[in-house]
Homo-oligomer: A and B are copies of this chain.
Amino acid sequence: MVTQIKPIKTPPNQEELSSRLEKVRRLMKRENLDYYISFDPVNIYYLTNFAFYVHERPFILIIPIEGLPKMLIPLLEKGHFESRARCELEFVVYYEFPAPSNENWYDYYQKLIDNDAKVGIEAAMPIGIANKTPGKKIVSDIIEEVRIIKTDYEIGRIVHACKVVNKGHKVLLKKCRPGILEFTLYKEVTDAMTSKIVQDIPEANFRATETTGAVWPPSVSHDPHLIPHIFAPMEESGPHVSIVSAQVDGYGVEIERTFFLGYVPEKAKKPFEIMYNARALAYDLLKPGVIMSEVDKKVRKYISENGYRDYIIHRTGHGLGITGHEAPFLAEGYDRLLEENMVISVEPGIYIPGLGGFRHSDTVLITNDGYIKLTRAPESLDEVTINL
């Protein structure tokens, strides 16, 4: 089904970015805001196509309810910004940080906004920046809200990014054999993905591109956030758990598999089966209108009833988009409805110390009547048992 959606490899055009801004303004109107201020580089990237990290020289996007947005930026970054941005805006350029008095970034910033204006700010805005922001401030994550529903353009980018991680995962399964070192695998898998990225997108923005490829061998796969030792050797049997993720010129996706090298230990069969069924249960529930927390609840219930309640250590899934981890969430406590054009991971997991971890993850698009799995790799126990 993946092939039904055409992958897109080009930067967003002005129309795409204008329509995103329009959606932001619709929410600004609903909240009666005169301005919305974005300091989060991820949100600035979403609206402008300029990617950078937060450093001591602030860059800030000021969106008035009408008229051109203004970009407050240090002189040093202006050329960089212009080379990437694909939207209309005005620049307000300050020289440097630190700066002599009256020439600091905030001296310029504070002239841009009236003191009696209603100003929306991000929950992620540093308090040091918020304290220098004029007006009546209201914390509201408007841009994150808009980002939750992907445009057709974004879906095309995500489909392409998934082809990159699919390739990385294929290389990983081909190279992963007992004795091969984590570091070697990492190099092989990330090199394969980086090569594909630069071939497909010679203009790729490496400020918005990153690749990861790793395997948690069975001795550590019960602890999914414990980074394996770089010289850890892969082992016989399993469960090994792979993580292949990439941010491909701005779009973050992932694919992860539980697999076995040579044979499946007897005691690994049941937890694999329960994970596999829990995952199928989650997929059966995926369609617009379903409460997201309900998916997590039902998955947990199934796993718990089958004896692994104490081995669930994370939620069922998270959103992906211009980052690899964002709203919305398949999690208890997150009672939003699934909607068409959300993109989420589905990855119920069981983690048993002394035995290992059991988790497949895919990047999944919610469609008008269900879902499309955008990543592809072996799934069943037979398929993930690799002959040596």
Contact = CB atoms under 8 A, between A and B. Distances in A.
A171 interface: no
Contact of A198 (B125, B230, B313): B230
Contacts of A223: 79-80
A300 B229 CA distance: 48
B123 A333 contact: no
Contact of A99 (B77, B124, B128, B332): B332
Contact of A334 (B98, B229, B231, B314): B98
A226 interface: yes
A314 to B, nearest CB: 5
Interface stretch (A1-9, A100-108, A259-267): A100-108
Contacts of A122: 126-128
A131 interface: yes
Summarize A's interface: helix, strand, loop or mixed.
Answer: loop
A334 B104 CA distance: 11
A30 interface: no
Contact of A225 (B77, B99, B124, B230): B77
A355 interface: no
Contacts of A104: 333
Given A98-B315, A98-B333, A121-B127, 13 more contacts: A56-B327, A75-B314, A76-B224, A79-B225, A83-B226, A96-B315, A97-B329, A122-B128, A123-B126, A126-B127, A127-B127, A127-B139, A206-B227
6 contacts: A56-B326, A96-B315, A96-B332, A127-B130, A202-B230, A206-B227
Interface of A: 55-56, 75-77, 79-80, 83, 96-101, 103-104, 121-128, 130-131, 139, 183, 198, 202-207, 223-227, 229-231, 313-315, 318, 325-327, 329, 331-334
